[in-house]
């Protein structure tokens, strides 16, 4: 009887450890972190976000420094994208944000290009210089339209 109880206890511990690993992997893959409010909250306004999603990475020189925290329309019917970056960064006031694609058909993310001003962005301020996402379908449509026009 005692041997069976010990075996059941060890199996239970093994199952709990497995569930803990699955929970950890779920949070890691899902992009949920335990960092709370220590970052620099900024926003940028774009004409087109074309598939950018919440929790998309924000990068500088290919290094992830933050993530997209929200996307909504502003009063002028343009996309306002809220981002949070590492609080230890000092981003010059004239920095720019662009929405780019990972590869040809990959996910969208934001890349920041640093400016040269000596003043730095503070939490809650806007990144004034932006470049909207390129919509591949529009480019293909323009190309096809131009090819048809040239053939006539």
For residue 151, is pLDDT > 80? no
Report percent pLDDT > 70 for the chain.
89
For residue 75, is pLDDT > 70? yes
Instruction: Kindly state the average pLDDT of the residues 68-76.
Output: 94
Tabulate helix, strand, coil % of the chain (nearest 5): 30, 30, 40
pLDDT at 138: 77
Beta bridge partners of 34: none
d(CA 95, CA 70): 20
Instruction: Kindly state the average pLDDT of the residues 31-41.
Output: 65
User: Which residues lie closer than 8 Å to 111 by C-beta, 6 or more apart?
Assistant: 58, 59, 60, 97, 98, 100
d(CA 62, CA 34): 23
**pLDDT tens digits, one per residue of 95-134:** 999 999 887 777 899 999 999 999 999 999 999 999 988 7
Instruction: Kindly state the average pLDDT of the residues 22-51.
Output: 79
């Amino acid at each position: 009887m005692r041997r069976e109880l010990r075996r059941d206890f060890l199996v239970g511990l093994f199952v709990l450890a497995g569930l803990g690993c699955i929970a950890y992997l779920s949070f890691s893959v899902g992009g949920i972190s335990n960092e709370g409010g220590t970052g620099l909250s900024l926003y940028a306004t774009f004409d087109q976000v074309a598939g950018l999603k919440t929790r998309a990475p924000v990068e500088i020189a290919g290094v992830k420094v933050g993530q997209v925290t929200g996307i909504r329309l502003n009063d002028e019917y343009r996309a306002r994208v809220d981002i949070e970056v590492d609080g230890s960064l000092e981003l010059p006031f004239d920095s720019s944000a662009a929405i780019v694609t990972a590869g040809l058909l990959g996910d969208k993310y934001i890349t920041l290009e640093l400016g040269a001003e000596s003043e730095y962005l503070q939490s809650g301020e806007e990144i004034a210089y932006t470049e909207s996402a390129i919509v591949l379908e529009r480019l293909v449509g323009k190309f096809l339209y131009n090819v048809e026009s040239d053939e006539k």
